[in-house]
Structure 1
Amino acid sequence: MSRFLIHRRTLGAASVAYAAGVFAPLLGAQSAPVGDLGRVTLAVAGQNEMYHLPVLLADQLGFFRAEGLDVVLRDFNAGALALQALQEGAVDVVSGAYEHTIRQQVRGLPLRSMVLHGRAPQVALGISQRALPKYESLRDLAGRRIGVSAPGSSTHTFARWVLAREGLAPEEVTFVAMPSGAAALAALRAGQMHALCHSDPIVAQAEQKLALRVVADARTLKSSQDLFGGNMPASCLYAAQPFVQKRTDQVQALVHAMVHTLKWLQTAEPADIVKALPAAYLAGDRALYLAAFYRMRETFSPNGVMPDDGPAVALRTLTLAYPELAGSKVDLARTFSNDWVRKARQKFNV
């Protein structure tokens, strides 16, 4: 079993629900009565991370409300904690990595992705040039400490996969849970970590302010496709199978709102992004945030559709990162559905 250190900030209960900002729907949006379809509790992992930007925009722009949903967002320190909350019945839906639907099917918990909003992992692995000034290759990370958001999260999976490609077993490094950007940056600054695997704007801040050298990058569509040999699906809305079977109206409304948001993102200008998001989401540096957004903008799905090769690419990646999955039988067709997205695309002409 690989070593994993848990940063003290991850201990205790998951972060409490936050009050979602109330913004009026865009002019011309057809609005249903607020909450007409009932309440849905939706978990995100790191609300300030760009990984969840489409979900935050759907909330802030009023697109959930326009579909008659009363969506309550809950923020957790990491994707693994959001998944745990779903397993415990504390939330209804998770904005998280598609890969969880595969791993949980193997463990006997059927999950289904409803709409894909990230068509690349949107994460990067970087080396601290201060802690490893003589770094030459990934094999130099043997015996070193690598910061990730949490055990079992997409950043952890990506780091394991990158190392496995170089022949390094997870037991040969120490993973350190660093869910908050502030904690990760402080640890790098203090020389407590040799590498960091995280998402933007955290990685962008570390590159600019702490001389982090990115050596494996999945923050653009091309770099992700080159790395994985195809389309690697990432952030999506997923829920347990009973939810998608019994609460079909809510599922379709959620997908409508997300596809509406993804269409909005295709033409959004910097001023639109800044206006839609509370200042706290911009990581204290508007210029850096927008630069990071433009670099990874194309990794947001334009329409919410799961690519044809996506599930197989994800399974291949997981099998290398977690060799114990190699012998498992996985029915990929049961891990996602494009049916709800097809209806939403017709509604919004995407």
Structure 2
Amino acid sequence: MKKAIMLALSSLALTASLTGAAFAQAVEKPDLVLGVGGKSLLYYLPLTLTERLGYFKEEGLNVTITDFGGGAKALQSLIGGSADVVTGAYEHTIRMQAKGQEIAAVLELGRFPGIVLGVRKDKAASVKSFKDLKGFKIGVTAPGSSTNFFVNALVAREGLKADDVAIIGVGTGLSAVAAMKKGDIDAMSNLDPVMTKLEQDGDIVVLADSRTEEGNMKLFGGNNPAAVVYLKRDFIQKYPVTTQRIVNAFYKSLKWLAKATPEDVAKAVPEEYWLGDKSLYLASVKASAPMYSKTGIIPPAGMKNALDMLLQFDPELRDAKVDLTRTFDGRFADKAAEAK
């Protein structure tokens, strides 16, 4: 009995020692600026949850979030040095590599884009396929953002060029809703809760929906990574402990979200995210639930789908040598899973 007790105490001491060693690693850069384009969108729900549930603080991080009108502007903040880390579209890591900028995703937040393309109801009868969008004014969160890429890829399939449609930045939230309701645009590529509201209000007819597995199989043939956490590669190399803590915090949110109900989510986010209608927000969360990553890891097939989508409309990429293995660094997600 005495021997068993001594062995148990020895095991506890070893565990405590290992745990202490892990947490003894100092966070090299605890104060961070994080850029995002449309924080209230469900596309970026894991970010809001990480902030609101206190996971950044649990990991010893003090994160200041800067919210931009779209993902392209968040990317610019990283390239320009005003942000340390971004939650944005995976496609940006591919496009930046082609431009000689080493940007890498370290965690997948969304396995599907969650983007919906809807046509204004009074125009819907004339649109039988994507080629019928020629000449349309199409609202996106911001030019150069993933919602813009989505439109470009879909119209390219029907032989149209990117400039065959007029892309107009309408932002996120109520500004996007207002643009459609006022008739400023003919169609919109945007995210929830914006698109669910317009659909429920009868303002649009959905032409393409990437929120579900079925929708993504139809559009892309499978997984197409969406929102990710990405950083400059030199940041990852210089601040590996900080990078791990960032990934740990977001990974906790993915695990929380996997078990949460729409009501749980509504309670966790600011009420202004509801767009004045809680039932609408609950419906939006339910519609978008399938799109969130289960593991935080981007599968190779998903990377290829994302590249293939960009190749349909981006001439710069056709001549570029893109090493997809350098667009995602899964080491930190693996360690976060082990710790969990």
Mark yes or no: TM-score above 0.5. yes
Match of 2:51 in 1: 59
Does structure 1 residue 257 correspond to structure 2 residue 249? Answer: yes
Match of 2:283 in 1: 291
Whether contact under 8 Å (1:39, 1:71) holds in the other structure is yes
Q: CA deviation digits over 1:265-321, x for unaligned, max 9?
A: 111123321221111122221111111111221210112111121111111110002
Q: The residue matched to 2:243 in structure 1 has which SS?
A: helix
Shift, 1:96, TM fit: 0.2
Aligned AA for 1:96?
G
Q: CA deviation digits over 1:248-279, x for unaligned, max 9?
A: 11100011111111011111123321221111
Shift, 1:110, TM fit: 0.6
Q: CA deviation digits over 1:52-101, x for unaligned, max 9?
A: 10011011000111111111111111000000111110000000000000
Whether contact under 8 Å (1:189, 1:210) holds in the other structure is no
Whether contact under 8 Å (2:266, 2:281) holds in the other structure is no
Identity fraction in percent = 40
The CA distance in 2 between the partners of 1:297 and 1:182, in whole Å, is: 22
Match of 1:170 in 2: 162
Match among 282, 290, 313 for residue 321 of structure 1: 313
Q: Following superposition of structure 1 onto structure 2, how do residues 338-349 of structure 1 map, counting pairs within 5 Å? A: 338-348=330-340
Of Structure 1 and Structure 2, which has the larger fraction of its residues in helix?
2
Match of 2:185 in 1: 193
Match of 2:116 in 1: 124
Aligned AA for 1:259?
Y
Q: CA deviation digits over 1:146-174, x for unaligned, max 9?
A: 11111210000000001011111112111
The CA distance in 1 between the partners of 2:214 and 2:243, in whole Å, is: 31
Match of 1:209 in 2: 201
The CA distance in 2 between the partners of 1:271 and 1:134, in whole Å, is: 38
Q: Following superposition of structure 1 onto structure 2, how do residues 300-319 of structure 1 map, counting pairs within 5 Å? A: 300-319=292-311
Aligned AA for 1:165?
R
Q: CA deviation digits over 1:98-133, x for unaligned, max 9?
A: 000000011111100010000011101111012454
Whether contact under 8 Å (1:117, 1:301) holds in the other structure is yes
The CA distance in 1 between the partners of 2:230 and 2:316, in whole Å, is: 24
The CA distance in 1 between the partners of 2:128 and 2:236, in whole Å, is: 48
Q: The residue matched to 2:117 in structure 1 has which SS?
A: strand
Runs (4 or more) in structure 1 with deviation over 4 Å come to none
Match of 1:102 in 2: 94
Corresponding residue pairs, total? 317
Match of 2:73 in 1: 81
Shift, 1:184, TM fit: 2.2
Aligned AA for 2:315?
P
Q: CA deviation digits over 1:31-66, x for unaligned, max 9?
A: x89x96511111111111001100110110001111
Match of 1:27 in 2: none
Shift, 1:215, TM fit: 0.6
Deviates more, 1:203-212 or 1:76-85: 203-212
Q: CA deviation digits over 1:200-224, x for unaligned, max 9?
A: 1111111112431111110112211
Whether contact under 8 Å (1:126, 1:213) holds in the other structure is yes
Whether contact under 8 Å (1:188, 1:210) holds in the other structure is no
Does structure 1 residue 111 correspond to structure 2 residue 103? Answer: yes
Whether contact under 8 Å (1:124, 1:197) holds in the other structure is yes
The CA distance in 1 between the partners of 2:128 and 2:219, in whole Å, is: 19
TM-score by length of 1: 0.87
The CA distance in 1 between the partners of 2:266 and 2:324, in whole Å, is: 38
The CA distance in 2 between the partners of 1:112 and 1:285, in whole Å, is: 37
Question: CA RMSD for the aligned pairs?
Answer: 1.8
Q: The residue matched to 2:34 in structure 1 has which SS?
A: strand
Q: CA deviation digits over 1:176-219, x for unaligned, max 9?
A: 11113322222222222111000111111111124311111101
Q: The residue matched to 1:303 in structure 2 has which SS?
A: coil
Q: Which has the larger radius of gyration?
A: 2
Match of 1:13 in 2: none
Match of 2:328 in 1: 336
Structure 1 unpaired stretches of 5+? 1-31
